[in-house]
Amino acid sequence: MFSNNLKCIDLFAGAGGLSEGLSEAGFHSMFASEIIPVYAQTYKFNHPDAQVMVKDIRTINPEIIMKNLGLQRGELDLIAGGPPCQGFSINAPVRSILDRRNHLFKEYLRFVKTFAPRAILIENVPGLVSFEHGATLHAILDSLSQLGYGTGVRILGAAYYGVPQMRWRTIILGLRGKVLPGNAFPEPLYHAPIKPNFTTTFDGKSLIKLPSPETEGRFITVKEAIGDLPELKSGERGSKIKGYRCDPFCDYQRRMRRGSSGVYNHEAGRLSIQNLERLKYIKPGGNWTDIPEKLLPAGMKLARKSDHTKRYGRVTPEGLASTILTKCDPHWGAFFHYDQDRSFTVREAARIQSFPDYYIFTGTQSEQFAQVGNAVPPLLAEAVGINLKLLLQKEER
């Protein structure tokens, strides 16, 4: 971990995945805004030095926040955050400018105008690029330009930065009074078998950062991510803090276990009798097409074998996980464990998101899954943060 000598605030902070990664890169979170109380509770538990405000951001006065933090305009190093992404998502049922969530980025800009930070970071879903044919992204970039920021945007594959899943995020970076250099975004560290299924160009330019031929690292597998966690049966809860299944057998596990006193948030949800029966037929890498027709849900008996390829999926231990969602429900994705007859636990989902084991999630199990699924993978945030730190340090010389 770098020394946390740069100051940042996190808006729309969720459970704190973005702040966790930025902390590893050398940024100290002074303040976080989050409207959902249980998310804010998790954030505060894991970032005890930050002021956490549980309010609708539209009711928060950034000038009061700046005064309470003891900062003058222009002193803050970074404002990070991401407005709720559902309205932008390519998977949203209705992608409309009438969805008021689509305008919350203006609240982020309001904080930028007040604080005038040295740098900005906005994260969102890949669908932001194509939403309203790029009009929303243009509005964000134009607004930042009017506030004096040179900006750039890329779509980063989390697996290229050591996150063991098929997840992509749109990242916008900006520097106050500077043209954003071409090397502002981190170069991929790993090769990974991921392909975008969304618009990848903006104003005629590709936004995807791909590994170079010189990149030597190989992606982190599901087994490397979770293979040392305790075995559980369907519905087994066990003690609140569990011991590890074995010694760490890869660098990823060693990193995830650093500073940990044991395994938290590792309790297996209870599968229905029907799902347990279906699971008997699903091999690692398989899905609903392995299930005998008589055991399929009624709606899926009419589906084509080429459709819904992740549903009732059992992950491949030597492959990547599919994107962790807010519910690790096997009906919606490949969330069956590769060699245990159950679905993922919160801790396994968190490991696949690259949260370290000392990071504790509060609330009910369903609330914990939602926090993990909505989070920015810390390793991805760290890679972005390291590059940002280098840019800011270069300015100081």
CATH of the domain at 91: 3.40.50.150
In whole angstroms, what is the distance from residue 203 CA to residue 208 CA? 13
State residue 383's pLDDT score. 98
Rounded alpha-carbon distances, angstroms, from residue 55 to 16, 103, 110: 16, 17, 16
State residue 173's pLDDT score. 97
Amino acid type, 364: T
Q: Do the beta carbons of residue 84 and residue 12 sit within 8 Å?
A: yes
Does residue 234 sit within a domain? no
Which tokens hold the place of 326?
Answer: 């807010």
In whole angstroms, what is the distance from residue 353 CA to residue 345 CA? 12
Which tokens hold the place of 295?
Answer: 């055991």
Which structural domain, as residue segments, surrounds residue 387?
A: 6-214+377-396
Structural domain count, the chain: 1
State residue 91's pLDDT score. 42
pLDDT digits (tens, 9 = 90+) for 132-186: 888 888 888 998 999 999 999 999 999 999 999 999 999 999 999 999 998 999 9
Does residue 66 sit within a domain? yes
- Contacting residues for 302 by C-beta, under 8 A, at least 6 apart: none
In whole angstroms, what is the distance from residue 77 CA to residue 321 CA? 35
Cβ burial of 3 (10 Å; 0-12, 13-18, 19+) is exposed
Of the candidates 377, 389, 388, 387, which has an alpha carbon nearest to the alpha carbon of residue 161? 377
Does residue 246 sit within a domain? no
Using DSSP's 3-state secondary structure scheme, residue 113 falls into helix
Q: Do the beta carbons of residue 229 and residue 351 sit within 8 Å?
A: yes
User: Does this model's pTM top 0.85?
Assistant: yes
State residue 194's pLDDT score. 94
- Contacting residues for 341 by C-beta, under 8 A, at least 6 apart: 233, 234, 271, 276, 279, 280
Does residue 83 sit within a domain? yes
In whole angstroms, what is the distance from residue 158 CA to residue 175 CA? 23
Interior angle at CA 348, CA 332 and CA 365, nearest 5:
70
State residue 307's pLDDT score. 75
| Beta strands 119-124; 149-157: pairing state | unpaired
- Whether 328 is a known active-site residue: answer no
**Active-site option among 8, 85, 250, 328:** 85
Does residue 307 sit within a domain? no
Does residue 268 sit within a domain? no
State residue 262's pLDDT score. 96
In whole angstroms, what is the distance from residue 287 CA to residue 322 CA? 12
Does residue 102 sit within a domain? yes
- Where helices occur in the chain by DSSP H, the ranges are 17-25, 37-46, 62-68, 105-115, 135-146, 222-226, 251-257, 273-279, 346-352, 365-374, 378-396
Does residue 134 sit within a domain? yes
Segments in the chain below pLDDT 70:
1-4, 84-102, 397
In whole angstroms, what is the distance from residue 151 CA to residue 182 CA? 10
Handedness of CA 98, 100, 102, 104 (dihedral sign): positive
Q: How many CB atoms sit inside 10 A of residue 61's CB?
A: 10
